């Protein structure tokens, strides 16, 4: 396949509220490095040479510059976060396209998903190159119930029809630019929902259970164990 230029937007506007921390969760340490450092470096490893834009609230950028200077982190450009995730992604896209790299695909990734594998990231890009979009997703294992109109009523949901959505979500660059020209809608929960609003079909690809989104203290504990297992596999390779 002809080499396709891919750009990366990493959205990292979280707080430490659910962590019970005064430090935003993307700056907390995992295996001796800030989570955001690991996320940036993993995306850079998967897509060498890809331009990277990291979206952070203005009030966090000075802290990040000071923190990241202490670690080896792939080159990246900062963009200002907005009120909604939609606004943050739009800001990141504007910054990415202004770099003049001529990107054909854009991978949008959560700043607190540092354990996505190189193989999965590249798989998503390959899928998007042929289908225009690629959303990593995994089958759910819990049981689900839907609330009914009856007071206290609920009904079972067929979990075989459900998938849990992850990132990076990868799209044709022209399609994504057109999607983010739409006005904000509260129904937008991720980038796929923004693109879908245009009437476009969304393509799923295989995600990973280890591609954890770190939002709580318990997630840090799980991520540490997953990281240790990854390192053990690499050492034994």
pLDDT (tens digit per residue) in 158-204: 999 999 999 999 999 999 999 999 999 999 999 999 999 999 999 99
pLDDT of res. 64: 98
Distance, CA of 44 to CA of 8 (rounded, Å): 9
What's the whole-model pTM score? 0.93
pLDDT of res. 18: 57
Q: Is the dihedral of CA 125, 113, 117, 158 positive or negative?
A: negative
pLDDT of res. 234: 75
pLDDT at 56 over 60: yes
Q: Which residues of 177-195 are buried (b: 16+ CB within 10 A; e: fewer)?
A: bebbeeeeeeebebbbebb
Mean of pLDDT values over 55-83: 97
Query: By the 8 A CB rule, do 101 and 139 touch?
Result: no
What the block records as the tokens of 185 is 């809608």
Q: Which helix (H) or strand (E) holds 172?
A: strand 169-172
2-22 pLDDT per residue, tens? 567 999 999 998 655 655 668
Q: What is the DSSP string of 23-41?
A: S-GGGSEETTEEHHHHHHH
Q: How confident is the model at residue 1 (pLDDT cuts 50, 70, 90)?
A: very low
Paired sense of beta strands 29-30 and 33-34, if any: antiparallel
């Amino acid at each position: 396949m002809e080499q396709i230029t891919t750009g990366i937007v990493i959205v990292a506007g979280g707080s430490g509220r659910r962590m019970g921390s005064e430090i935003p969760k993307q700056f907390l340490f995992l295996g001796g490095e800030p989570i955001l450092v690991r996320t940036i470096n993993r995306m850079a490893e998967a897509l060498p040479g890809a331009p990277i834009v990291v979206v952070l609230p203005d009030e966090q950028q000075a802290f990040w510059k000071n923190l990241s200077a202490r670690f080896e982190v792939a080159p990246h450009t900062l963009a200002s976060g907005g009120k909604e995730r939609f606004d943050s992604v739009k800001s990141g896209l504007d910054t990415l396209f202004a770099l003049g790299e001529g990107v054909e695909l854009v991978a949008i990734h959560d700043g607190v998903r540092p354990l996505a594998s190189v193989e999965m990231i590249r798989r998503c890009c390959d899928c998007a190159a042929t289908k225009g979009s690629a959303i990593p997703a995994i089958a759910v294992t819990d049981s689900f119930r839907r609330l009914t109109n009856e007071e206290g009523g609920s009904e079972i949901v067929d979990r075989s029809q459900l998938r849990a959505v992850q990132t990076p979500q990868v799209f044709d660059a022209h399609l994504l630019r057109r999607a983010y020209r739409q006005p904000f809608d509260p129904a937008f929960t991720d980038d796929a929902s923004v693109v879908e609003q245009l009437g476009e079909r969304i393509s799923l690809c295989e995600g990973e259970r280890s591609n954890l989104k770190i939002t709580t203290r318990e997630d840090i504990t799980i991520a540490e164990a997953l990281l240790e297992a990854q390192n053990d596999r690499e050492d034994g390779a």
